[in-house]
Amino acid sequence: MSRFRFLSRLVCGLALAVGLSVAAPAPAQVAAPVVAPAAPLDAKTIQDNFERFRPVLKQVEDSLAALVNPTDEDFFRLRGQVMEVSDGLQAITRDIDPRAAELKQRLAQLGPVPTEAGVTESDEVRTERTSLTSSLAKLEELQKITAALTVQAQQVLSKITEQRRSHFTRSILQRTDSALSPSLWGSFLDALPDDIRVSRNILGLWWRNLAEAYNASFIGPVPMLPPVLLLGAGFGFMLYLARRHYKRVWVDRDPAVTDPPMRRRIFAAVRLMGVDLLPMGLFLWGVLFVARAFHLNPVVFQGIFQGFIGALMLYFVARTLNDALVAPREPAWRIAVFDEIAVQRLYWFSNTLYVWIAFKIVLDAFLKAISASIPLTSVANALFAF
């Protein structure tokens, strides 16, 4: 395939991705996947809850700092107090988010305030607009306070987890229960409901953040988030095609050469790593750019997101290094010289190991983000130890 034909296909493919992303039908605006309570909370009740939540979080932080010889029960007690606050904040969020969305929709139905000379609104419309704007401002203020307290509660949970892990590190190393120990699995089952509840809260926060990002991406009647995501997927596919093409063009691994000098092998391996890693780096940069531009990565989810990106980078760097050194399909260009059977086994084992390590990185980031209990962490480490 000539370079002109390849570039033509590359441009056509990118144009097709743009066309599909723009022409894709816009789904209806999604609301956060929540269920509103039967009776809406009034502003005074919500403010009273805020006044009750703040001292609880402060007291938990002070108690955590004052612990001298803590037990696991002390950490569970403090964690339970924070979880009660977190559940209360979730209930407030489920109550006020749909109400704020409804007020925004009603204001949008009224249309913009007339600015032309001689055009005025009726007294009824003006009164309704003023009332809706005032109510929405109050709800948005409550949303800001709720979000700030939610982040604070998550930070307190993280402090509890870090201090508990630090305190119990020596005891875990000295007397670690076997993965088949009934006591370990008993503690795991006791702590599992709280871990599931924290996971659901964090994933729910991320999903609501995604819904808000989608709703905020509208330009007129068209949401911009789906086209951007489709365009990003098309961009990644184009980078993959470009990688395959330029690997053949730039990487000097001629299969007809039977015994190239080591210098040529090293240069070819370096070029191979550049051709493989540059498109992946550009793609991950694009993912981070879109996540920041559309606010797809809330604070409580940042650790998981960063762990996922780091795991992808580690996997692709390690696999590219493996291809560069072992060259499973080009025996003459191997820097590390082994027989064919050993190369195939080493290649399969190392790639499997890279996947395992990447998964473990994501798992550790998730456990840290949810402030996982010690039994869950111990079970995860026992099951995924290598």
Instruction: Give the residue, 251 or 361, on which the prediction is more confident.
Output: 361
Summarised one tens digit per residue, pLDDT across range 33-62 is 333 334 567 777 888 888 888 899 989 888
Summarised one tens digit per residue, pLDDT across range 354-380 is 888 888 888 888 887 777 777 777 788
pLDDT at residue 300 in the model = 62
The sign of the dihedral angle between the CA atoms of 325, 327, 333, 334 is positive
- Is residue 251 within 8 A of residue 49, CB to CB? The reply is no
User: What are the distances in angstroms from CA 280 to CA 182, 243, 327, 349?
Assistant: 45, 9, 20, 23
Write down the pTM of the prediction: 0.58
Cβ neighbours of 49 (radius 10 Å) = 18
Mean pLDDT of 192-219: 78
Q: Name the token pair of 54.
A: 């703040």
Instruction: Give the residue, 283 or 14, on which the prediction is more confident.
Output: 283
Summarised one tens digit per residue, pLDDT across range 322-358 is 888 887 777 788 887 677 787 778 878 888 888 888 8
Q: Which residues contact 18 (CB under 8 A, 6 or more apart)?
A: 231, 234
Q: Whole-number mean pLDDT of the chain?
A: 75
Residue 55's Cβ-count burial label (10 Å; 0-12, 13-18, 19+) is: exposed
pLDDT at residue 236 in the model = 78
The lowest-confidence range among 16-20, 104-108, 243-247 is: 16-20
Mean pLDDT of 270-274: 82
Summarised one tens digit per residue, pLDDT across range 172-188 is 555 555 556 677 777 77
25 pLDDT above the threshold of 60:
no
pLDDT at residue 74 in the model = 81
d(CA 248, CA 319): 18
d(CA 19, CA 231): 9
Residue type, 32: A
pLDDT above 70: percentage of residues in the chain: 81
- Is residue 35 within 8 A of residue 131, CB to CB? The reply is no
pLDDT at residue 101 in the model = 84
Residue 277's nearest CA partner among 323, 231, 227, 213 is 323
Backbone φ and ψ for 161, nearest 5 degrees, come out as -65, -45
Q: Which residues contact 172 (CB under 8 A, 6 or more apart)?
A: 374, 378
90 pLDDT above the threshold of 60:
yes
Mean pLDDT of 276-293: 81
pLDDT at residue 299 in the model = 63
DSSP string, 4-40: HHHHHHHHHHHHHHHHHHHHSPPPPPPPPS----SSP
